[in-house]
Chains A and B, each alone.
Chain A
């Protein structure tokens, strides 16, 4: 299966190690959400993929072969620092960029028309970019990444500065692109969005990938937890076999299974709670991406060796 492989990238700026052993892959047809705090190395990784920055060591491969200029021409790129010619008209700009990526004049023009239409900026084709609102400039920037019909998408913060409608348009575009069999990598600080959109997520910290996997996979904890709302206190769960009370606040109690618990311990928990009082809510507690992210990026740096597997285990036990 074709995939964009980022393999053991290292990059040092002066005394700052921007990337250390950055490794992950993005498969064709998959949306990969790339999260991490500012300066963690997301943009550096993307710039190395695009060849605008050279790595100290490591490889970027597409379809098993080291990525070259011809493959890079087939990438749609949205740089972190937005960049377009401010005094060039939208249509001219997009056609120019499409042609630089190898489309002929006719195809470039058709593609420009299609993408300005899709992204809702068709009526601004004749305007200079600097006359557009920030949101519309952002749409032109996305159009610039897509106008040459790329085979791979690398988008650095494509959602920043977009209004909710534009976010929906952008999300739909990313889904379409993935559905067409293209690998899509994007970075974002809007974690709910990443959670909703991504097939897989990579959490990066201090230049290394510390957790990577499908959303469900990442949210699965080693010991299941349930939140029960209804009984006025936690006394109903105190003697229940296989679980322990993690927290109790008012009528909400959170219990966690222990190593001896049976697979259907959830049923035992529910029965015990019902026996005590009417239950209004009973749910499996899974950490959101935001919680995972917070756990990962605030974890003690010294305890972490940069291996994704270890990080996942450490978090599950926490």
Chain B
């Protein structure tokens, strides 16, 4: 015979997956979407760095004449809950140059007889509170000196004075970086799963519409074809997500925008990839089976609609509630439910509100569903994929043979 050899299932699946990977990675759609996301993520990091984090540090310059007030400005800032960083400039002109370039937010030029502050346009709100308090302290200090007291000591005691607050239900420790990461992870996973899932459905229908499936199934078993397609598209989706998440984590670390956050970037990035793989396995199998029921691209929506809804609901709940209220009972429950978990659990993990046993349980539940889906999807796909023409009923595809 002509040099042909018998092929094992592994070899066949590798070939089918290889075709999917080659055609999709080379496609314009893949390249542009990936490049666009990487650029957006990197630019986003850059913008965050340039504008400073929302609860960012205020920069105040102090002229040499009044250099002594620098410490007082910082401690006053701490007193009113604003982080202030000071720097000394030789004279007013140098300070004004820094103001114009945006390197500092305010310039202190005099403290007596009155506190005098120069700004570029207006005094930022946090600094208004700082300087308002500072002006009062300075006035108070003058009065204390006149009364023969030590203004510095009074000032120290004043700034240390704070009410003792007891919370009945203390909020978990979260910071802005974690909230932002939670939202980004939620959105990225949704887009990645939606996109890859749709590719699977379209790929299955493409083979039916073009009738190439008949040629393929004359030499390949249906389950091998489905497995190769799901694995190939999954690998492409994972590659895309690795690039985007890598760019996000890289720019977050590289630009140092998360220096003040307790977010564990590496772990969140890794877990989002894990959840993509788990979520993709579930949705791809379901979508491949359902797509095999129809023969035309226009009909995909009619069978995949319910699955898309199954993705949208946990996604909306995940990104609209979880980042702000991670202990919400709906959020907690959904983070365990297979199909919903890949959208919700990674957000909870980014917020650091999921205990390791919760993550393990959620992952275990989702993984347990996959073998059942493999069996169901294989059956539906095999029975439906060669039926051209009309739509095959799900019931018939499950029952026949």
Interface residues of A (CB under 8 A from B): 47, 50-54, 69-70, 72-75, 77, 79, 81-88, 92, 96-97, 99-104, 107, 144, 148-149, 151
Contacts and interface: CB of A to CB of B under 8 A. Distances in A.
Given A73-B4, A101-B4, A83 B15 contact: no
A107 B3 contact: yes
A50 to B, nearest CB: 4
Contact of B214 (A79, A97, A102, A107): A79
Nearest to A87: B23
A83 B212 contact: yes
Contact of B210 (A54, A86, A92, A101): A86
Given A54-B401, A84-B210, A102-B7, A149 B2 contact: yes
25 contacts: A47-B214, A52-B214, A72-B218, A73-B6, A77-B215, A81-B211, A82-B211, A83-B210, A83-B213, A84-B210, A85-B210, A87-B23, A88-B23, A96-B15, A100-B7, A100-B12, A100-B15, A100-B219, A102-B4, A102-B5, A102-B7, A107-B4, A144-B215, A148-B4, A149-B1
B181 to A, nearest CB: 38
Contacts of B155: none
A96 B1 CA distance: 19
Contacts of A99: 15
A72 B364 CA distance: 41
B7 A83 contact: no
Given A53-B386, A85-B210, A149 B4 contact: yes
Interface string B1-43: 1111111000010011001001100000000000000000000
A106 to B, nearest CB: 9
Interface of B: 1-7, 12, 15-16, 19, 22-23, 206-207, 210-221, 386, 388, 401
A52 B386 contact: yes
B218 A75 contact: yes
B212 A85 contact: yes
A75 B214 CA distance: 13
B214 A83 contact: yes
A70 B6 contact: yes
A181 B386 CA distance: 32
Nearest to A150: B2
A101 B207 CA distance: 18
Contacts of A104: 3, 5
B399 to A, nearest CB: 14
B215 A103 contact: no
Contacts of B214: 47, 52, 79, 81, 83
B3 A103 contact: yes
A96 B211 contact: no
Given A52-B214, A100-B216, A102-B4, 5 more contacts: A52-B218, A73-B219, A96-B15, A96-B19, A151-B2
A115 to B, nearest CB: 12
Contacts of B206: 85
A87 B22 CA distance: 13
Nearest to A47: B214
Contact of A83 (B3, B12, B215, B401): B215
A218 B6 CA distance: 40
Which of B2, B213, B401 has the most CB atoms of chain A within a 10 A radius of its CB? B2
Contacts of A86: 210
A85 B19 CA distance: 11
A85 B216 CA distance: 11
Nearest to A89: B23
A92 B15 CA distance: 12
B13 to A, nearest CB: 11
A81 B388 contact: yes
Nearest to B385: A52
A117 B22 CA distance: 25
A100 B220 contact: yes
Please list the 10 inter-chain residue pairs (A to B) with the smallest Cβ-Cβ separation, ordered nearest first: A83-B211, A149-B2, A102-B4, A83-B212, A50-B218, A81-B211, A79-B214, A107-B3, A77-B218, A73-B219
A86 B210 CA distance: 7
A79 B215 contact: yes
Contacts of A83: 210-215
Contacts of B23: 87-88
Nearest to A93: B212
Contacts of B7: 73, 100, 102
A51 B38 CA distance: 46
Contacts of B217: 51-52
B295 to A, nearest CB: 11
A74 B23 CA distance: 26
Nearest to A88: B23
Nearest to A156: B214
Contacts of A103: 2-4
A86 B401 CA distance: 31
B219 A72 contact: yes
B359 to A, nearest CB: 40
Contacts of B16: 100
Nearest to B212: A83
A88 B24 CA distance: 11
B1 A74 contact: yes
Contacts of A100: 7, 12, 15-16, 216, 219-220
Contacts of B4: 73-74, 101-103, 107, 148-149
A87 B15 CA distance: 18
A54 B212 CA distance: 19
Contacts of A51: 217-218
